[in-house]
Structure 1
């Protein structure tokens, strides 16, 4: 049962697993509202409910799928009030319920739902208004699942847990490669991981950068993770080789995403510098790796060592200068004062200026 307090992505992931366990136990409430701005969880739960409530031979007679744009609340109520043609249960699934005409009128049905019907409302893009009588009735008599879109820094932890649920583990560099390349699109991530897990050699229990390169096509040597690492080490030859690779493959490595990755990277260096300054000022110890990893929103304390080392090469006066360059080249990448330079040239210029600070 969902609560009315503000949900987080972590809450959604936990509720998703709990609802899947309920489905495994064949516990189907008469009213089920799947709502929110993260479509992956809603689609996955809808698929499971579609496949699990009724046996395959009954679905043609007792399972109805309608779309919100094509119907209204009255028609849905009529469907829900019908008796099953065979068996003891029918399923009515309303996809894109956020577009259902006179949606709130479903409260007339939700006040006394039929015990022989499971109504599933897929309310994507946003939440149903929690002040509505309909929402309160579903919350009281059925199940509400709120699907919250993840923030970038939340993906790594979820991805690690997801892979563990499939009987594998993954090293931190591989997590960084996947999140760097696939972003926060968890539907895309699960699709790519599904293919990867299918093609892994039998008996493989740990996913490595080599597996990802071979099966997903993400280079283990040329990616934003490796570029920011080269900047951390002030390794100009390595940084420029990566920039040349990006320039040859502009569709795979958009400059805007690279600048965004560098901005997040130098923000973390700033935080490490600030924590070290604060510790000196107060005469207290610098936070341990686990605490710093939490502050930096890193997937693992494994990466903290890099940021501690980078902070010695980039004191905050240099970090501020780098941030200024990143803002300048962000505008140039969008066509402002860029002249005739393409994105590859802009990236090379930017890296040279950063490494010469």
Structure 2
């Protein structure tokens, strides 16, 4: 079941006795749980009919006893079990899951861990509950998610701004949503477009000195710009460690190599194959003319070498900043 379907059912007051919300992405688990705790019962009803427990501090018998109660002056009661992955006796809820109380919504949060479907408890739970998996997004999916989130709130996001937010915030959707809300409040005009300048001004990320701009400078073989950026990285080594640079450039040049060997070079196909926004396909096309496939193989080998050197391989004692400078120089002159 998708998040949209699940929320749609809840909005239509189509309630089920057991909700099992699990996965590596806590954002949607928290959203669904928050919706249930805020909307199923009125504020007056919540006092007597809503309980929140934590797996580390609770036992299955306690959860089961609460869930089997009848609601007081309400049609339903809500029992939320957070951090269920920490409950040693979780499997003892089997009897309850097999015959749950129809007037109770038992909401189980099971984060950062996969349920072992070989166990009878999870087999029965999957069959008798609303089984919702919240999957972690891949990094290449995050810019699209950012655009969709903003669009739902009547804002647009420039592709470069979405890429910049992804670079600095990673794939933590809760953090991204929080920063986007700040941006939209600061801009204050629904229908407006969020730009890289807005990101820099209101969130504090540099639109000129970041991994995305380094990729762009190298893709264009812009020696002056690439050198300026890597010097900034070297002077701010804690914020821009070489490990981040090598990983970022590895993905960029690997995709560029893939570009060369993709036969169907239509914009949409390349965007799909490279897993990038179609807006950026032209950048890969331009860079491919500056880097033949053979040179890209050399660059990828360089990246692996410098990654190992940064980890002390071959007795290396050169600082990460200096290694970054060396690496960028060699890429530009390969």
TM-score range, shorter chain: over 0.9
Question: C-alpha separation between the residues in 1 aligned to 2:316 and 2:100?
Answer: 65
SS of residue matched to 1:66 = strand
Question: C-alpha separation between the residues in 1 aligned to 2:205 and 2:10?
Answer: 35
Among 298, 309, 313, the residue aligned to 1:321 = 298
CA displacement at 1:263 relative to structure 2? 0.4
Give a deviation string over 1:156-204, Cα, whole Å, max 9, x none. Answer: 2222211111211111111111111111221211111121111113345
Aligned to 1:237: 224
Question: C-alpha separation between the residues in 2 aligned to 1:185 and 1:128?
Answer: 22
Query: Contact between 2:98 and 2:124, CA under 8 Å: does it hold in 1?
Result: yes
SS of residue matched to 2:96 = helix
Query: Contact between 1:32 and 1:138, CA under 8 Å: does it hold in 2?
Result: no
SS of residue matched to 1:61 = helix
Aligned to 2:271: 293
Among 272, 277, 282, the residue aligned to 1:305 = 282
Query: Contact between 1:73 and 1:106, CA under 8 Å: does it hold in 2?
Result: yes
Bigger Cα displacement from structure 2, 331-340 vs 53-62: 331-340
Question: C-alpha separation between the residues in 2 aligned to 1:262 and 1:17?
Answer: 36
RMSD, matched Cα: 1.8
Instruction: For 1:272-283, list aligned pairs within 5 A.
Output: 272-275=259-262, 279=263
Bigger Cα displacement from structure 2, 130-139 vs 43-52: 130-139
Q: Taking structure 1 as the reference length, what is the TM-score of the superposition?
A: 0.88
- Paired residues, what number? 334
CA displacement at 1:345 relative to structure 2? 1.3
Instruction: For 1:1-357, list aligned pairs within 5 A.
Output: 2=1, 15-275=2-262, 279=263, 286-298=264-276, 300-337=277-314, 339-357=316-334
Bigger Cα displacement from structure 2, 238-247 vs 84-93: 84-93
Question: C-alpha separation between the residues in 2 aligned to 1:240 and 1:341?
Answer: 18
Question: C-alpha separation between the residues in 2 aligned to 1:338 and 1:58?
Answer: 67
Give a deviation string over 1:217-276, Cα, whole Å, max 9, x none. Answer: 11111111110010011111100111122223223322211111100000011011122x
SS of residue matched to 1:118 = strand
Q: Taking structure 2 as the reference length, what is the TM-score of the superposition?
A: 0.94
Question: C-alpha separation between the residues in 1 aligned to 2:265 and 2:80?
Answer: 51
Query: Contact between 1:40 and 1:186, CA under 8 Å: does it hold in 2?
Result: yes
Query: Contact between 1:127 and 1:146, CA under 8 Å: does it hold in 2?
Result: no
Which runs of no fewer than 5 residues in structure 1 stay unpaired?
Answer: 3-14, 280-285
Which runs of no fewer than 5 residues in structure 2 stay unpaired?
Answer: none
Question: C-alpha separation between the residues in 2 aligned to 1:335 and 1:165?
Answer: 47
CA displacement at 1:341 relative to structure 2? 2.7
Query: Contact between 1:107 and 1:134, CA under 8 Å: does it hold in 2?
Result: yes
Question: C-alpha separation between the residues in 1 aligned to 2:275 and 2:315?
Answer: 33
Question: C-alpha separation between the residues in 2 aligned to 1:159 and 1:245?
Answer: 28
Give a deviation string over 1:134-175, Cα, whole Å, max 9, x none. Answer: 444444443111111111112122222111112111111111
Aligned to 1:11: none
Bigger Cα displacement from structure 2, 98-107 vs 174-183: 98-107
Question: C-alpha separation between the residues in 1 aligned to 2:124 and 2:302?
Answer: 54
CA displacement at 1:58 relative to structure 2? 2.3
CA displacement at 1:104 relative to structure 2? 2.2
Q: Cα 1:171–1:338, aligned 2, differ >3 Å: closer, same or farther?
A: farther
